[in-house]
Amino acid sequence: MGAVRIRLQDVAKLAGVSDATVSRVMNAKDGVSPKTRANVLKVLAELGYEPTALRTTPRVGSIGLIVPELDNPVFPAFAQAIESRLRATGYVSILCCASRAGASEEDYADTLVERGVAGMIIVSGRHADIGGDHSVYDHLVTQGVPLVLVNGHVAGLAVPSVSSDDAHAAYLAYEHLRALGHESIGLLTGPDCFVPVVRKLAGFTRAARDAGATGKQIKQSISESMFSVEGGYAGARRLLERGVTGIVAASDMMALGAIRAARELGLAVPEQVSVVGYDDTPLMRFTDPPLTTVRQPVQQIADHATELLLAQIGGTSYEGNEFLVEGELIARGSTARARVAVA
């Protein structure tokens, strides 16, 4: 008998509920009425799928977890969230850091296969690079290794992925600054060869067009740099020299660099320049000033990615669908109402 193919949206449609409700039932989360839960479980059963979170038989084994670095606090946060979710189901993760200075993604993937892992979750790997070499994933699929990609997507690859809705995040940040009266808003982001960057560019552009900006104005309001404090500093200086009063940064680290750049130019944050970050890693509430940011839904992404992986290990087959999870804007002290120019 062939493997069962099931999509979250198919279950939601058949059960007459939202994708989020199906996800909560699959992950045994609260907030769903008994009647709705029973209906979703009935649909899942009819499709031949048993959510791993609801099984009583304990699992044992290891899962390979590959992240790109540990310097950015968001990646340890992902590792912790995924490990916690796996441990609750009887699995443990083997953490690998595929940094530029260390072993490659291919090296770690081969090693993990040799160690007999039950599956792999790869966070912000080469699948986030639009023009990158994605053959490592084809190789894993050929070997029959269950795999889930996080924050990135490879078109045509029969592997499920879970990503933050970066376009929505950039739109939220722009609208927050616009609501505060900022008319000159810039985007501080990384190289546009990465999937999350392209999506943030799309969200920012849509928000700017909604605000009446022209194509030329939008182009001049975008500064590309590296995803680091230093990169944020360099990119923000260019934006500030162009006269922006509000900055949407593609990461919290870049946002901190932007604040430093503003202060070195004699500009007060948030009195003269407002800055919005992205991720909401734990220390951002303690920065000076506390950082306004769009919270990346790390726990939700980790829960869903883990569920997708365990379902594959249990025999469920997925198409190469991507599931997007929206974040939320957390307003703190790095943004304020724009100053009104005095004639």
From CA 239, how far away is CA 16, in angstroms rounded? 47
Whole-angstrom Cα distance, residue 285 to residue 335? 13
pLDDT at residue 2, as a whole number: 39
**DSSP code of 56?**
-
Which tokens go with 20? 């989020």
One-letter amino acid for residue 93 of the chain: S
The one-digit pLDDT tens for each residue of the chain (343 residues) are 334 445 677 788 888 998 888 877 776 676 778 778 878 888 877 776 656 555 544 456 899 999 988 888 899 999 999 999 888 888 889 999 987 666 788 999 999 999 889 999 999 999 999 988 899 999 999 989 999 999 999 988 889 999 999 999 999 999 999 999 999 999 999 999 999 999 999 999 999 999 999 999 999 999 999 989 999 999 999 999 999 999 999 999 999 999 999 999 999 999 999 999 999 988 999 999 999 999 999 999 999 999 999 988 888 877 778 889 999 999 999 999 998 654 4
Note the residue count of the chain: 343
Residue 63 DSSP SS3: strand
Cβ neighbours for 281, distance < 8 A, ≥ 6 positions apart:
72, 73, 74, 77, 252
Check residue 206 and give its pLDDT. Answer: 97
Task: Spell out the domains of the chain, with CATH numbers in brackets.
Answer: 1-57 (1.10.260.40), 60-164+297-327 (3.40.50.2300), 166-296 (3.40.50.2300)
Instruction: Using DSSP, state whether 224 is helix, strand or coil.
Output: strand
Helix H or strand E segment including 258: helix 252-264
d(CA 308, CA 70): 24
The number of beta carbons lying within 10 Å of the beta carbon of residue 288 is 11
| Tokens read off for 198 | 């392209």
Distance CA 223, CA 189 (A): 6
Helices vs. strands in the chain: H and E counts, helices first: 12, 12
Q: What is the pLDDT of residue 60?
A: 63
